[in-house]
Structure 1
Amino acid sequence: MMVIFDLDGVLVDTAKFHYLAWKEVAREFGYVFSEIDNEAFKGVSRIDCMDMLCEMANLSLSKEGRERVLGRKNDIYLRMVEEDVHLLDGVLELLKDLKMAGVKMAVGSASKNVMFVLEKTGITDYFDAIVDGNMVTHAKPDPDVFVMAANMAGVECCECIVIEDAEAGVMAAKSAGMMVVPVALDGGFDSITDISANYLMGLIGTCVC
């Protein structure tokens, strides 16, 4: 049995940094990137985000040009993380409670900066598996990231619960045959502070493989 966490917006308050970084690079092309635009970017790969930005801003960029923009966006994001990254309220308590109960945990994220963020916040050792965007060919909503996490930890997909704040992640988890606990989404919990280890273990007890 295992609980798999998304990273940005679930464990750490970094989702806003992705938004601000995309907003900055879009501004350099004369496009005003809005929070509504950003909703479509949540949980998907950087390549897909770049494709969407080109469509939104009517940009025609070569492969090399796109890579430069992605590099610029990542530099802005990492600078923000370096200056101000912290765990969301309730995260450390939940991780400790699950660890004490002997529940396996993993991170499954589209981000390529997962290890940097986990090490920066000091929670790397809580996880039995860590899968990031560098490790899979297909990003969410494809289930690869979650399936790989389950395989790495030696757990069946049907024994996993995924905590997600993005529709793409919810779709990925369901495609993998996993239970999903949505956060900051319609029909889900407002934040991770509303989720207890006892609640998750109760859900795990209902898993049927």
Structure 2
Amino acid sequence: MLKAIIFDVDGVLVDSMRFQADAWATAFQDAGITITREDIYELEGSNDKRLIKSIFEKAGKEPEPEHFEQLPEKKREALEFDRIKPFEGIIECLDELKQHFKLAMVSGSNRITIGKIVDRFFSGYFDVVINGSDLERGKPDPDPYLKALEMLDLTRNECIVIENAPLGITAAKRAGLYCVAVASMLEPEKVQHADLVLEDHDALLDYLRSLIPEKQQAE
């Protein structure tokens, strides 16, 4: 029986990925590395440390210890936070879901950014919030989703995950969870390792509402 829904944040709850990607691009320019939005989209869900390592590796370079402190700070300074908004219909959908399920948020973004997002848009909605600063090993390792299960005090077959990124889907599957992907930023074939792929947020909202017990009975 479904008791909880676990959400990724960027690209699922909030329309933020282009702003996140542009902020990272600005930060990496200072390190002499040029990246595209697509580079960040494919690494979305990673915590800062893993993302920095991956970008340097792709550029054929080795990060210095100071990069792990300086680049996330530069990225936060460059992020146009005021342009980030929840996807249309998400808040209203969460209002309905909250009456029937526990809700959890699992993000690779750092504690400061996630704290701001929760405070501005989602205060009181989520029973569990896990950010990229909480665990040493982030997505695609299963640790963030295993931690969510532990904090929810539920079993794998009582929860589902909503993701949009390849690494996040891999993390959910490694944790043994059913994963639904919304193809919000990447082509559907890049998220096809999810159990179910939805083409856009309209389809996601329809799917989420179909999980509500009264809706199922009405059908």
- TM-score, normalization: structure 1? 0.86
1:201 Cα deviation after fit = 4.4
Q: Cα gap change, 1:142/1:56 in structure 2, threshold over 3 Å: closer, same or farther? A: closer
Structure 2 CA distance, aligned partners of 1:98 and 1:201? 7
**Structure 1: 5+ residue runs without aligned partners?**
none
Decide whether the 8 Å contact of 1:161 with 1:180 is kept in 2: yes
Q: Of 103, 110, 113, which residue of structure 2 is paired with 1:105?
A: 103
Alignment of 1:55-94 (within 5 A): 55-77=57-79, 80-81=80-81, 83-94=82-93
The AA in structure 1 aligned to 2:105 is V
RMSD: 2.0
Q: Cα gap change, 1:65/1:103 in structure 2, threshold over 3 Å: closer, same or farther? A: closer
Decide whether the 8 Å contact of 2:157 with 2:177 is kept in 1: yes
The C-alpha deviation readout for 1:85-113, integer Å capped at 9, x for no partner, is 2111121122011123x211110111112
Alignment of 1:1-209 (within 5 A): 1-77=3-79, 80-81=80-81, 83-100=82-99, 102-112=100-110, 113-121=113-121, 123-184=122-183, 185-186=188-189, 187=192, 188-195=197-204, 196=206, 197-201=208-212
Q: Cα gap change, 1:58/1:177 in structure 2, threshold over 3 Å: closer, same or farther? A: closer
* Higher mean C-alpha deviation, range 169-178 or range 5-14: 169-178
1:30 Cα deviation after fit = 4.2
Decide whether the 8 Å contact of 1:159 with 1:178 is kept in 2: no
Q: Cα gap change, 1:61/1:150 in structure 2, threshold over 3 Å: closer, same or farther? A: closer
Decide whether the 8 Å contact of 1:46 with 1:70 is kept in 2: yes
**Structure 2: 5+ residue runs without aligned partners?**
none
Runs of 4+ aligned structure 1 residues displaced above 4 Å come to none
**1:138 aligns to what SS in structure 2?**
coil
**2:157 aligns to what SS in structure 1?**
helix
The C-alpha deviation readout for 1:140-159, integer Å capped at 9, x for no partner, is 11111112112212211221
Decide whether the 8 Å contact of 2:46 with 2:132 is kept in 1: no
Decide whether the 8 Å contact of 2:139 with 2:171 is kept in 1: yes
**1:40 aligns to what SS in structure 2?**
helix
Structure 2 CA distance, aligned partners of 1:65 and 1:30? 12
The AA in structure 1 aligned to 2:23 is A
Decide whether the 8 Å contact of 1:118 with 1:124 is kept in 2: yes
The AA in structure 1 aligned to 2:65 is K
The AA in structure 2 aligned to 1:105 is L
The AA in structure 2 aligned to 1:48 is R
- TM-score, normalization: structure 2? 0.82
**1:126 aligns to what SS in structure 2?**
coil
